[in-house]
Structure 1
Amino acid sequence: MPPISHGGDLDDARRLFPDAPTPWIDLSTGISPFAYPVPAIAAESWTRLPEAGDLAALCRAAASAYGAEAGEIVAGSGTQPLMAAVLRLLPPSRAAILGPTYAEHERLCCQAGHRVQHVTMPDQLGEDACIAIVVNPNNPTGTLVARTDLLALGRQMARRDGLLIVDEAFMDSLGDAGQSLGGHVDNGAIVVLRSVGKFYGLAGLRLSFALAARPVAEKLAAAVGPWPVSGPAIAVGRQALADIDWQSEQRARLHEAGRRMDDLLAERGLEPKGVGPLFRTLRGQSVPALFESLGCAGIWTRRFAFDPPLLRLGLPSGEMGWRRLREALSGFSFKS
């Protein structure tokens, strides 16, 4: 499969809408607009290869944050490389993906030689596939599969020597209510992926983690090799993952921003069909026209080639963004 277009591609925005006002308001990514304050980074983090002890300390911080054991954590430079490495541990087989969802997982499955089957209900995941993939909470629908259901699916996959892969990139925003599987990977048939980029607003850090039973984690660590993440990423990640007070404040900020977005959309008679911690997703026959209208106003949103009536809006980062979004929506008549 060819490379997939994702959010954040402002070069495409400028090409499609060369006369749009600037600066662009980028609502296309589903990344928190409130970034973790990056600490001062020691010069040696840039000039030396990361030490094994520093990487181990990062993994301990991640284990504490995600409710796992340190030996069950593997760090990587983003979810895509970790997902690709996990999929390469398995012989070619059938992979069931709960969708509609993040399209990159299908591409990685195909690259690893797996046959992809798309399903729309969680109970279809364990029918005949050896790999089951769930994004939880889902992107772009925001749906959340209950932990009890996923654990049952994990037991089912274990009986057939299969694997359940759960991408929890948006789980941090939900806190204790999020139903994470981070502390339930010890049966060997569950791998959980976590990302620092979205909740912490640090997508450019390229820092993610895979949580798996120790034997699986050891194979995965060998597959990703030495120095899987940079020294600066280790330094920032260790501090961010341990900053409990900031995490609590961040959830409150995101909750308030989500409430504000709901109020703004309701003013225009818009009801999201997908609600996630960091985005709202609209569905309707007017979506292509709304995408064009917002683009002409310098507001970049996320459309989906596999489902053109869907449009995802992230959260604005400041008052200028909220004002311009309100003004852009004020003259638009949306049809569901």
Structure 2
Amino acid sequence: MSVSGAPPIAHGGDLDAARTLFPDAPAPWIDLSTGINPVPYPCPPLEASAFRRLPSPADLAALKAAAATAYGVADPAGIVAAPGTQILIETLPRLVARARVAVVGPTYAEHAAAWARAGHAVVPVTDLDAAADVVVVVNPNNPDGRSWDAATLLACAALQNARGGLLVVDEAFADLEAVESLAPRLRPGLVVLRSFGKTYGLAGLRLGFALAEPDLAARLAEALGPWAVSGPALAIGGAALADTAWREAATVARGADADRLDRMIARAGGTVVGGTRLFRTADFPDGPGLFGRLGAAGIYVRRFEAAPSRLRFGLPADRTEWCRLSRVLK
């Protein structure tokens, strides 16, 4: 699979594109095109030194310890902190010899693109039973919320390890879901990716994690280089990951929001086809028309070129946003 000359991948959150499409839309825009928690973690006050000095090994160790506890990882040596999960998606393919890579999809397009950019032969598949050196799966999947149980994924990891291969499980949306994370079950042949910004509503902080056996984790960390994560990100990330009560409350609150959004979608004639607590994906009789009406009202949602009837909605942040969305959907 080649990406030479391929058009750029469309991502959510591109309000510049929204303004170009709908120059007369009212401000402020409501961006529902991402799956980021609209109620962010309240950042603690930071010492000025977090901005003035380079992060210390102790700062990084404290973040990794907090991540190990939050994700259930027995050994912090198996945790790699990075400036966002995207850089890990880009880096991992460069550490693997040329291979046949099966990406279970349709899913987040950057996985296939990153492996292809690194010179691997990428094959899109619909399930885990692909004969490939590397298998990549997003659990729960974006954009349809499809999930796999731990036993199925671990069996795949064992098969991949036996053939000298790798299973990559992207758990970007797992924090607030009931899926069985593989983070506490790390073993050879398995890499787990975890996003911080989506769950905690702090995508601009740029923080993510790779979880793997210590040898592979060390190679990933070496590839990223020293001071990969900023001092403010280390401090805020450590505080947020240690705040179990906030995460539990967010799980309940975002679940209620997702249920509310499902009801609004149904009243608008849509059929919810999947999602997570942070986004809902639905088919509509006139998806392009609804996308246009929402955009004209200053509300940006995610559309899919390959499935024109399908739209993905993030969660509104407050009463004003909920009311504006409700008026259009009615």
> Per the shorter chain, which TM-score range?
over 0.9
Is 1:16 equivalent to 2:42 in the alignment? no
Aligned length: 324
What value does the CA root-mean-square deviation take over the aligned residues? 1.1
CA contact (8 A) 2:270 2:285 kept: no
CA contact (8 A) 2:149 2:179 kept: no
**Residue 170 of structure 1 aligns to which amino acid in structure 2?**
F
**How far does residue 274 in structure 1 lie from its aligned partner after superposition?**
1.7
CA, structure 1 residues 17+249, in 2 after alignment: closer, same or farther (shift >3 Å)? same
Is 1:185 equivalent to 2:186 in the alignment? yes
55-64 or 268-277: which moved more? 268-277
Is 1:160 equivalent to 2:163 in the alignment? yes
CA, structure 1 residues 305+266, in 2 after alignment: closer, same or farther (shift >3 Å)? closer
Q: Distance in 2 between matches of 1:85 and 1:257?
A: 35
Q: What SS class does the counterpart of residue 264 from structure 2 fall into?
A: helix
Q: Structure 1 unaligned runs (5+)?
A: 331-336
Q: Deviations over 1:240-290 (max 9, x none)?
A: 000011111111110110111112122223221122121111124511111
Listed as ranges, the matches of 1:19-38 within 5 Å are 19-38=24-43
CA contact (8 A) 1:94 1:130 kept: yes
Partner of 1:121: 127
Q: Distance in 2 between matches of 1:5 and 1:218?
A: 32
Is 1:52 equivalent to 2:53 in the alignment? no
CA contact (8 A) 1:134 1:167 kept: yes
Q: What SS class does the counterpart of residue 183 from structure 2 fall into?
A: coil
Is 1:112 equivalent to 2:118 in the alignment? yes
Q: TM-score, structure 2 length as denominator? A: 0.96
Q: What SS class does the counterpart of residue 18 from structure 1 fall into?
A: coil
Q: What SS class does the counterpart of residue 155 from structure 2 fall into?
A: helix
**Residue 163 of structure 1 aligns to which amino acid in structure 2?**
L
Q: Distance in 1 between matches of 2:8 and 2:57?
A: 33
Is 1:72 equivalent to 2:73 in the alignment? no
Q: Deviations over 1:108-127 (max 9, x none)?
A: 0111111111111233xxx3
Is 1:321 equivalent to 2:321 in the alignment? yes
Partner of 1:334: none
Partner of 1:5: 10
**Residue 122 of structure 2 aligns to which amino acid in structure 1?**
V
**Residue 24 of structure 2 aligns to which amino acid in structure 1?**
D
Q: Structure 2 unaligned runs (5+)?
A: none
Q: Distance in 1 between matches of 2:43 and 2:223?
A: 30
